[in-house]
A = this chain, B = another copy of it.
Amino acid sequence: MSALLIRAAGAADRPAIWAILEPVIRAGESYALPRDMTGAEALAYWHGAAHQVFVAQTGTEILGTYYMRSNQQGGGAHVANCGFMTAPAATGRGIARAMGNHALTQARAAGFIAMQFNFVVSTNTRAIGLWQSLGFATLCRLPQAFAHPAAGLVDALVMHRVL
């Protein structure tokens, strides 16, 4: 496969970003977002205020996207938070890992001192394994915090690493 390029997203990327977000949101298995969100609502969320959005592409094909923001405002603004999505057809090709490494570098450059994920669904073992391999630790489990469409109420994890 061609080299993976990760770059800041522009307005022209919105249809490609929605094409990645839609199946993940519709599945409702890994993000705490309404499964019936419209494209406009989903893109407003992904490109929310103070979010920086990136895309990962090979050639002209966009295969993943992530956002970075401060996890809290004010006295909590020195900890980063990100959300990552990979096109379902492109899983297993290292795209999420490349985006994760890119995000860690970006976050350090932006002056963040740590990165926190607030809500990693416990059944999303692929994501948990990836974050563990990138140095994230599980700070705690949020009991029965997520209603999984197949598994019912499952825990979510708070994951964290110092930068």
Q: A residues bordering B, Cβ < 8 Å?
A: 28, 31-35, 71-79, 113-114, 116, 118-119, 121, 139-149, 153, 156, 158, 160, 162
Contacts and interface: CB of A to CB of B under 8 A. Distances in A.
Contact of A119 (B34, B72, B139): B72
Contact of A146 (B76, B141, B162): B76
When all copies of this chain in the complex are counted, the total is 2
Given A116-B145, A118-B118, A145-B116, A76 B156 contact: yes
Contact of A78 (B34, B113, B147): B147
A73 B147 contact: no
B158 A75 contact: no
A146 B75 contact: yes
